[in-house]
Amino acid sequence: MRSGSGILGEMNDSRPPLWRWLIVVFLVWVLLATAAWLPRRSHSDPLTVAVGLWPGCETLLLARERGMLTADHVQLIEMSWASATIRAFGSGVVDAAVLSLDEVMHLRETGRDFRVVMVMDASKGGDALIARDGMQKLEDLKGRRVGVDLRGAGMYLLTYALERAGLKSTDLELVPMNLPETEDFFTSKEVDAVVTSEPWLTRLKAAGANSVFDSSQAQTPVYRVLVVSSDALRAQKAEVVRVMRAHFAMMKVLCQGAQGLGMDAVLRRQELSKEAFAGSWSRLKPFDLVENRELIGERKDGLGKAASQVEEKMRANGLLYQPLSANPWIDGSLLKGVRP
Amino acid sequence: MKFPGPLNLRLSLLLLCFGLLLIFVNHARNQSWLVERRIKRLEQDAYSKASRLSGMMQYLFRKPGSHRSGELEMSYASVSPDLELGVVCDSKDKVQFSSQMQWRLMDLAATPLKDVGPYMKEVRVTSMGKVFHEPGDGRMTAVFPFYEGYEARASGMVIMRYNAAITLKQTREDAFYESISQACVLGAGCLLLWLALDVLVTHRVRRIMGYTRALSDGQPPPPVLDGGDELAVISQAFAQAVEKLRETELSLLEASEQERRRIGRDLHDDVCQRIAAAQLKCGVLASTLMRESAQHSGLAQEVAAELAKAAQVARGFARGLAPVWLGQGGLAPALTELAEALSQSFSIRCDCDCDLAGNELAAWVETHVYRIVQELATNAAKHARPTWVSIRVSTVDERLRAEVESDGLPFDEQASRSEGLGMKFLQQRVRALGGTLKFLPGSVAGQGSLGLCEVPLFGIHHRTSD
């Protein structure tokens, strides 16, 4: 008698279906991709913006007082020294800063990657060369000690003044100083004249100083712009737009007269009375959103043309030493995200 | 604790639970550590900045005209994102420098730092700077004195208030995101483990289970596992054990069959002959007594008749135990004889139709098929109280079909499976053939049943020439 066990092993093997494995592999891929692509941080650091005491910057300070710029989104670093502001932005200590256009040219010399996203204002007398009583004309300054911020808007303005008077910088004794020091040096009579700006200009005029030349007489006005590092522009675009929106909103408030919530803080910062601040504010021309769009994006004789003139003037007077970076440095795209 | 699902799912879920617990614990520890470290660093930052500022202010306050540098120092100090407000006061508590310029030249009591009076009092007593922790998440105030003039009494004060609530919130979010990332990796790992276990363990264990279930159900078992791992070794050893048991079973069946045949032959060759001889002698005795008109001649005739019946029964038994035709290609005559014997024994109609279509079956196959049909038909005749029994054996498409159908009571399969030695032997023979046995309803609705044995025919089932 024989066994029937030989039939074992002749049955087909039933393996799990392939689609089940494929689903599992797909899920594994999804989970690993999620783990890899999940951002390590759900937030961004607050945008740090360096602002000086220039009255045009008070829009941002007023916005902070009114709760439009909270510390978790935007941190304003108050720096009265313009040279400190440009140094802080140039070294990356702050993400954004309010600078004059000639200071922007200095930045372009360094090759720093940044963008001008907004023109805040143009100085219409807010920057001035002031002298003591008895020096009524520019020509009177010949051989005198003149205090000026050599790396700031003051030096740029002084070139216009000297040009008008037919003088050279060597005809004066230039005393380098920072803007806050102009008030101290002038009142202590250590210098005969200073190139200063608001709010020190108003205070010095109130003390009897005599303006012999101001920014309203310059061929190309002194523009103050908001510059933002390209890294911050990529990572904190929403915060930059928030700053721009706050500026335009508060600009209207300040143009309508200094009153309302937060104005006391502005006046304390400026160390000016309400009336004096109004006078100070009148010596600048703020640009609203529509004007900004024209200046930065649409108009051919906008900021680009002004920058060329500034560069030409600075280079002719030996204020620029190196060729400027060819990188794009104006970006008007963010203005589209700001609603009036 | 019971987990649902197969083994691989249970193991993967266990790992996932354990992993999530680990991640949770790690998240709590990590977050706590990060927050503590952040607060510690903030404290160090507050200490170093306030200390440096106080030293600088002492120098600047003693040099008239250089106080503008203080503004610059305060500007740089204010770069810290956690600094809420920093001020430098003179001996009259008038703010000289501030991180927010609006507070310059104001009385300290008019600023947001008006509540630091107790700190200043303590610091002025000791002339030692100190960082004071305040209620709230990461709030602290550094108060550091400096000598404003040349008096031996600290009078000026650097006060810096820090609020790290936002930074700490971000730190906690960072820790949370890190934990989410870890959980995703763990989930992927668990899925991969599930897949690996499914392929390497569960699927193979299922095949072993399928093997045992097939054996239990009398179905053809699936192939054993390949490879040399533990499960494959278990599977192969199990299959070998089953093979040995089956061989033992077959040996027992063969021994039983031989014993049946020997008893049948002995019954036929010895007992039947003796009964026949006794019947013959009784017939002669009855004739002699009848001629002598003896009184007991009738009784002798009755004994002779009983002996004839006994001989017939004994021959029937002998034929049942050792069918003459089996083993010689005589399955059909043997079954016909079986049908006749059943018909006579139970006084019912019993038909037989055997058509092997030219297939010559091996002797052991003929024997098993005969015994299976014999068991099914006898059981039907005995227990179903039938009026007829039909035996049909045929081969179609290399499959042998042996059917026994009857009317009467239906077959109770469940009862027969659990009890009855005859049914167990029947199952043994079906297994030996590598076939299946099913019980189906009879062709007459509600009556009788059909026992169907199907055997796939391979080479081993056919008679070989040698």
A106-150 pLDDT, tens digit each: 888 888 889 999 999 999 999 999 988 777 787 888 888 888 888
pLDDT at res. A284: 92
Contact B106 A268 (CB under 8 A): yes
Range of weakest confidence among A71-75, A297-301, B247-251: A297-301
What's the pLDDT score for residue A16?
Answer: 62
Judged against a pLDDT cut of 80, whether residue B216 lies above it is answered with: no
B192 Cβ contact partners less than 8 Å away, ≥ 6 residues apart:
A24, A28
**Mean pLDDT along residues A188-211:** 87
How many domains does chain B fold into?
A: 3
Task: Tell which residue, B402, B410, B391, has the closest CA to residue B365.
Answer: B402
Within 13 Å of residue A277, how many CA atoms lie on the same side as its CB?
25
pLDDT tens for each residue of B362-380: 888 888 899 899 989 988 8
Q: Reduced to 3 states, what is the DSSP secondary structure of residue B274?
A: helix
pLDDT band at A10 (very low <50, low <70, confident <90, very high): very low
**Tokens (6 digits) for B153:** 């009494």
B429 neighbourhood in chain A, CB within 8 Å: none
Nearest CA in chain A to B250: A3
| Lookup: tokens for A230 | 């390209």
Count Cα neighbours of B221 within 13 Å in the Cβ-side half-sphere. 26
- pLDDT in the model for residue A5: 38
Whether the Cβ atoms of residue B289 and residue B300 lie closer than 8 Å to each other: yes
Whole-number Cα distances in Å, B234 to B197, B218, B225, B228, B345: 17, 21, 9, 10, 51
Please answer yes or no on whether B191 and A6 come within 8 Å at the CB atom.
no
Judging contacts by C-beta atoms under 8 Å, the chain B residues touching residue A42 are 170, 173-174, 176-177
Chain A residue at shortest CA distance from B430: A4
Instruction: Let me know whether B391 and B403 are in one domain.
Output: yes
In terms of C-beta density within 10 A (0-12 exposed, 13-18 middle, 19 or more buried), how is residue A44 classed?
middle
| Distance from C-alpha of A153 to C-alpha of A121, rounded to nearest angstrom | 14
Quick check: A77 and B106 CB within 8 A?
no
- Per-residue confidence (pLDDT) for residue A7, from 0 to 100: 35
Residue A42 has pLDDT above 60, yes or no: no
CATH of the domain at B105: 3.30.450.20
Instruction: Say which of A8, A35, A45 has its CB closest to residue B185.
Output: A35
CA B325 – CA B304 distance, rounded (Å) = 30
Checking if the pLDDT of A4 tops 50, the result is: no
Report residue B392's pLDDT band, with 50, 70 and 90 as the boundaries. Answer: very high
Determine the residue among A2, A26, A81 to mutate to test chain B binding: the one whose Cβ has the most chain B Cβ atoms within 10 Å.
A2
Reply yes or no on whether the pLDDT at B415 is more than 60: no
Q: Flag the least confident range among A12-16, A228-232, B409-413.
A: A12-16
Which residues of B are less than 8 Å from A31 in CB distance? 184-185, 187-188, 191
Residue in A173, A270, A176, A164 with CA at minimum distance from that of residue A214: A164
Give the minimum alpha-carbon distance from A11 to chain B in angstroms, rounded to a whole number: 5
Q: Do B184 and A31 touch (CB under 8 A)?
A: yes
CB-nearest to A181 from B68, B207, B250 is B68
> Would you say the CATH fold of A127-217 matches that of A47-122+223-336?
yes
pLDDT band at B117 (very low <50, low <70, confident <90, very high): confident
A118 near A152, Cβ under 8 Å?
no
How far is residue A266's CA from residue A55's CA, in Å, rounded to a whole number? 9
Longest dimension (CA), chain A: 140
The verdict on B146 and B38 lying in the same domain is yes
> What are the tokens at B281?
């002698």
| CB-CB contact of A109 with A155 (8 Å) | no
Give the mean model confidence (pLDDT) for residues B150-161.
80
Asked whether residue B463 falls in the same domain as residue B343, the answer is yes
Q: List the domain range (segments joined by +) for residue B141.
A: 7-171
Lowest mean pLDDT among A187-191, A203-207, A320-324, B189-193: A320-324
pLDDT computed for residue A14 by the predictor:
54
Q: Are residues B331 and B260 in the same domain?
A: no
Query: Can you tell me the mean pLDDT for B238-259?
Result: 86
B333 and B316 in one domain? Answer: no
Q: Which of A8, A77, A269 sits opposite B78 (nearest CB)?
A: A77
> Which CATH superfamily, name and number, covers A127-217?
Periplasmic binding protein-like II (3.40.190.10)
CATH code assigned at B420:
3.30.565.10
Judge whether residue B196 has pLDDT over 80: yes
Give yes or no for a contact between A219 and A23, defined as CB atoms under 8 angstroms apart: no
Chain B residue numbers with beta carbons less than 8 Å from the beta carbon of A72 are: 166
What are the b/e assignments for A240-279, b being 16+ CB within 10 Å? bbbbbbbbbbbbebbeeebeeebbebbbbbbbbeeebbeb
SS (H, E, C) chain A: CCCCHHHCCCCCCCCCCHHHHHHHHHHHHHHHHHHHHCCCCCCCCCEEEEECCCHHHHHHHHHHHCCCCCCCCEEEEECCCHHHHHHHHHCCCCCEEEEEHHHHHHHHHHCCCEEEEEEEEEECCCEEEEECCCCCCHHHHCCCEEEECCCCHHHHHHHHHHHHHCCCHHHCEEEECCHHHHHHHHHCCCCCEEEEECCHHHHHHHCCCEEEEEHHHCCCCEEEEEEEEHHHHHHCHHHHHHHHHHHHHHHHHHHCCCCCCCHHHHHHHHCCCHHHHHHHHHCEEECCHHHHHHHHHHCCCCHHHHHHHHHHHHHHCCCCCCCCCCCCCECCHHHHCCCC
Partner-chain residue, chosen from A7, A15, A188, that has the shortest CB–CB distance to B434:
A7
Query: What pLDDT is attached to residue A59?
Result: 92
Mean pLDDT of chain A: 84
In a domain, B199, yes or no: no
Average pLDDT rounded to a whole number, residues B114-129: 86
More confident residue, B418 or B43: B43
Q: Is the pLDDT confidence value at B232 over 60?
A: yes
CA distance B264 to chain A (A): 19
CA distance B293 to chain A (A): 60
- Same domain, yes or no, for B45 and B129? yes
Of B71, B194, B431, the CB nearest to A180: B71
Question: Contact at 8 Å (CB) between A192 and A147?
Answer: no
Residue spans of the domains in chain A: they are 47-122+223-336, 127-217
Chain B residues whose CB is inside 8 A of the A39 CB are 177
Residue B234 placed within a domain = no
Among A50-59, B67-76, B317-326, where is mean pLDDT lowest? B317-326
Q: Mutating which of B101, B254, B462 best tests the A interface, going by the most A Cβ atoms within 10 A? A: B101
Residue of B188, B460, B461 lying closest to A31 (CB–CB): B188
pLDDT at B353: 93
Is residue B305 located within the same domain as residue B340?
A: no
Burial class of residue B356 (count of CB atoms within 10 Å of its CB; 0-12, 13-18, 19+)? middle
Q: Which residues of A75-112 are buried (b: 16+ CB within 10 A; e: fewer)?
A: bbbbbbbbbbbbbbbbeeebbbbbbbbbbbbbbbbeeb
- The sign of the CA dihedral B381, B384, B389, B393 is negative
User: Is B431's pLDDT higher than 90?
Assistant: no
Please report which confidence band the pLDDT of residue A64 belongs to, taking 50, 70 and 90 as the band edges: very high
pLDDT, one tens digit per residue, over A221-280 is 889 999 999 988 888 888 999 999 999 989 988 888 767 788 888 888 888 888 888 889
Rounded CA separation A78/A143 (Å):
36
A321 pLDDT higher than 90: no
Alpha carbon separation from B253 to B46, B249, B283, B319 (Å, rounded): 97, 6, 42, 19
Report CB contact under 8 Å: A268, B102: yes
Select the residue of A1, A188, A265 nearest B250 (Cβ to Cβ).
Answer: A1
The answer, yes or no, to whether residue B269 has pLDDT greater than 50, is yes
Nearest chain A residue to B166 by CA: give it.
A72
Which among A5-14, A124-133, A165-174, B326-335 has the top mean pLDDT? A124-133
Interacting residues of B229 by C-beta distance below 8 A, sequence separation 6+: B200
Choose from B31, B68, B171, B429 for mutation: most chain A CBs within 10 A.
Answer: B68
Closest C-alpha among A40, A95, A335 to residue A236: A95
Where residue A286 falls among pLDDT bands split at 50, 70, 90?
very high
In a domain, B52, yes or no: yes
Residues B165, B17 share a domain: yes
- The token pair at A324 is 């400027």
Whether residues B400 and B272 share a domain: the answer is no
Query: What is the DSSP secondary structure assignment for residue B180, as one 8-state letter?
Result: H
Residue A28 pLDDT exceeds 60: yes
Mean pLDDT computed over A53-64? 91
How much of chain B exceeds pLDDT 90, in percent?
A: 10
A79–B75 C-beta distance less than 8 A: yes
Mark yes or no for CB contact B173/A45 under 8 Å: no
Identify whether B1 is part of a domain: no
CATH homologous superfamily for A47-122+223-336? Periplasmic binding protein-like II (3.40.190.10)
Q: How many Å apart are CA B2 and CA B18, to the nearest integer? A: 16
Cβ-based contacts of A34 with chain B (< 8 Å): 181, 184
Q: Which residues of B touch A77 (CB under 8 A)?
A: 75, 78-79
Assess if residue B196 is contained within a domain. Answer: no
Pick B173's closest partner by Cβ from A42, A81, A265: A42
Single out the residue of B73, B76, B96, B100 nearest to residue B86, CA to CA: B100
DSSP B380-391: HHHHS--SEEEE
Q: Do B188 and A48 touch (CB under 8 A)?
A: no
Task: Give residue B444's region: left, alpha or beta (phi > 0; psi -120 to 50).
Answer: beta
Residue at which a domain ends, from B130, B150, B171: B171
Q: Which of B102, B188, B203 sits opposite A32 (nearest CB)?
A: B188
- Average per-residue pLDDT in chain B? 83
Is the pLDDT at B414 greater than 60? The verdict is no
Does residue B408 surpass a pLDDT of 70? yes
- Beta carbons of A4 and B460 less than 8 Å apart: yes
| Interface contact flag, B431 A4, Cβ < 8 Å | yes
Same domain flag for B49 and B86: yes
Backbone angles phi, psi at A288, to 5 degrees: -85, -175
CB-CB contact of B30 with B175 (8 Å): yes
Same-domain status, B339 and B431: yes
Answer whether A268 sits within 8 Å of B104, measured CB to CB.
Answer: yes
Whether A293 shows a pLDDT value over 90: the answer reads no
Beta-carbon separation of B434 and A268 below 8 A:
no
Q: What is the pLDDT of residue B390?
A: 93
Q: In this structure, are B358 and B460 located in the same domain?
A: yes
Using pLDDT thresholds of 50, 70 and 90, give the confidence band for residue B358. confident
Size of interface A-B (CB pairs under 8 A): 159
Q: What is the mean pLDDT of residues B8-14?
A: 75
Rounded to 5°, the CA angle B260-B263-B269 comes to 135
Query: Which of B81, B104, B180 shows the shortest C-beta gap to A75?
Result: B81
β-sheet with B436-441: strand ranges across: B349-355, B388-396, B399-406, B449-456, B436-441
- What's the half-sphere exposure (Cβ side, CA atoms, 13 Å) at A133? 4
Domain boundary among B295, B322, B349: B322
What burial letters (b/e) apply to B94-129, b meaning 16+ CB within 10 Å?
A: ebbbbbbbbbbebebeebebeebeebbeebbeeeeb
